[in-house]
Chains A and B, each alone.
Chain A
Amino acid sequence: MSALPERPPVIAPGHTPATVTDKISAVVLERTPRWWYLGFAVSFALLMVFTYSVTVLFVKGIGVWGINIPVAWGFDIINFVWWIGIGHAGTLISAILLLLRQQWRTSINRFAEAMTLFAVACAGMYPILHLGRPWLAYWLLPYPNTMAVWPNFRSPLIWDVFAVSTYATISALYWYVGLLPDLATLRDRARHTVSQHIYGMLAMGWRGSARHWQNYETASLLLAGLATPLVLSVHTVVSFDFAVGIVPGWHATIFPPYFVAGAIYAGFAMVMTLAIPLRIVFGLQDFITMRHLQNMAKVMLATGLIVAYGYFMEAFIAWYSGNPAEWFMITNRALGPYRWHWYALIFCNVIAPQILWIKRVRDSVPMLFVISLVVSVGMWLERFIIIVTSLHRDFLPSSWDMYEGSRWDWGTFIGTFGLFLTLFFLFIRFLPSISIFEMRTIAKPETTAAEAK
């Protein structure tokens, strides 16, 4: 292995299970830093923007949004797909990289899973708000009812209900199972009686016995094995919402893999956006090292190329199929009224990430931060382009129209950032944002000795 250039370690040298435990649990158990109050206040204010926008929506109806006929799917579906895509990187890091025995994932999996959970919560808001009568959301579920009808199991929309609710449930359970030994650690370290009791109850009496660990490791591995096809299925089903329809620009077999790659792309960008400030403010550079950031940059570059290939194939098939409606859709994207959105999308998702080929860029934290923000914007634009450009030019030119988000659309969108960040701030304050027990396995003398060789 000496031919390869030396890689930064996954954990700074000199750490032992004891130091890892003390350092990560101190983040939770010590006094609240001042910046936390500031960050939480801003997030909470944004959350209030969300509740205000939603109240306006409930009082006045979905006419306050910018949607119209033919563009009946606007910000709500764009943001739904965007948020749920972001969530996927968390599952990828925690499940797929676990199965692939990628040890570097250990320090980022916990907060990536939390990100998944909160992103799914944000995503779940939109389809329900879009219902028009959200208080009847339970009609989506198959239950015996006085109307004597059932949901249509041949529709991708009901598949979506099952996929997203399963994903939310499994993600929450997986996250909690991962937290269990760490909650026991916090129970043992907490100094206040109240926090001892709360962490104690949440830890459910975890003792870390050999029997516990044996069942625990088996269950974690099996959950990872279940979550891996699940995460792929969720975005596949989301893409079916489009691909099963006959709308030009949606009706394509490339959609499932192209959506999954896009989800991972956006998700890694979000993990990076969260990890970079997190490691600085909590001083966790020893655990979230340059190795993590570089690896994430490489995953972004790879999935970005898959996404670019998806764009290229969409255009190629539109031309090669000889279908005039498909060809019109592609030329309308590049030359029509939404061309600037499309140019921005190509810049953000295809051109800008190519500088990740340069090692100097992958070594620069500010550059990585900027690129991950650019990719997040690009992936949002991608969903905007897919949804709006396909719908706004309907089959009959007489029904053509334009779409833009109203201020309540923007209010709801910005508001979900409030929801996401509020949950995230509460999480980093009250729960260990890095898996303590998994870091112990990396910091134990046997592992650090093997790394040094």
Chain B
Amino acid sequence: MSDEEVDRQKPGPALHTPEAPRPYGVIAEFTDSERLIEAIHETRQKGYSIIEAYTPYPIEEVWEAIGHPPSKVPMLVLIGGILGCIGGYSLCVWTSAVDYPINIGGRPFHSWPAFIPVTFETTVLVAGLFAVFGMLALNGLPMPYHPVFTWPRFVQASRDRYFLMILARDPKFEVNQAYSFMSALPCTEAAILED
């Protein structure tokens, strides 16, 4: 067999034509949070809107500067709490007063004070489950792969470095422009990430 034939028999992306790697975004590393916040302001003034910052610990000013909408977690927790409350109370009433009522000295079947502890616990339980799994879902976790992990410097994001990225999804994004803009910011290093 000639080399050409071998190549043709190889399994692979035969249906696709090979593409140039698409950029995911342009990322830059900063040494402190003030520089990062200033850089966010500059980037937004420049007209970029789809940007994301990475910090080693939560900094309220950062997500305020980026202009993320308020978190949806509180609404989810409220919904969970209401579901848990109704569910727990209904469980008590249905089992004790509807499905299997036991007459004990003529006491009421719907003895609501006795149902409060269980109702309270189920309220907290379901609200808590919504808080945790809601937070994970809103953050898109679990997500084993993400383009930022390809940049070796990114491990410092969990130590003491701050990162800012302009995503390629941004309507104003053009790789070379974004890269030269980011490099001009007071960052230590900038890079183009591939998808």
Contacts and interface: CB of A to CB of B under 8 A. Distances in A.
Nearest to B148: A207
A166 B121 contact: yes
Interface of B: 32-33, 52-60, 62-63, 66, 68, 71-74, 77, 88, 91-92, 95-96, 99-100, 111, 114-115, 117-118, 120-122, 124-125, 127-129, 131-132, 134-136, 138-139, 141-146, 148-149, 155, 157-160
Nearest to B143: A205
Nearest to B77: A222
Given A210-B55, A216-B135, A219-B132, A158 B118 contact: yes
**Majority-rule SS of B interface residues:** helix
A209 interface: yes
A214 to B, nearest CB: 4
B124 A166 contact: yes
A230 interface: yes
B143 to A, nearest CB: 4
B114 A153 contact: yes
Interface of A: 16-18, 21-22, 142, 148-154, 156, 158-159, 162-163, 166, 169-170, 173-174, 176-177, 181, 184-185, 187-189, 200-201, 204-219, 222-223, 226-227, 229-230, 233, 237, 240, 437-438, 440-441, 444-445
Nearest to A440: B57
Q: Which 6 A-B pairs have the closest CB atoms?
A: A219-B135, A204-B142, A205-B143, A150-B95, A188-B155, A213-B58
Contact of A215 (B59, B138, B142): B138
A227 B77 CA distance: 13
25 contacts: A150-B99, A153-B95, A153-B118, A158-B118, A159-B117, A159-B121, A162-B118, A162-B121, A169-B125, A173-B129, A187-B158, A188-B155, A204-B141, A205-B142, A207-B146, A210-B53, A210-B62, A213-B57, A213-B59, A218-B73, A219-B71, A219-B132, A223-B128, A226-B128, A444-B33
B14 to A, nearest CB: 31
Contacts of A158: 118
Given A148-B100, A205-B142, A214-B68, A233 B132 contact: no
A308 to B, nearest CB: 28
Nearest to B33: A444
Contact of B117 (A22, A163, A211, A215): A163
A162 B141 contact: no
A200 B127 CA distance: 28
Given A204-B142, A216-B139, A150 B100 contact: yes
A449 to B, nearest CB: 13
A247 to B, nearest CB: 19
Given A208-B157, A218-B71, A153 B96 contact: yes
B63 A173 contact: no
Contact of A184 (B53, B118, B158): B158
B118 A219 contact: no
A240 B138 CA distance: 39
A222 B68 contact: no
Nearest to A173: B132
B155 A189 contact: yes
A156 B53 CA distance: 50
A204 B57 CA distance: 17
A23 B121 CA distance: 39
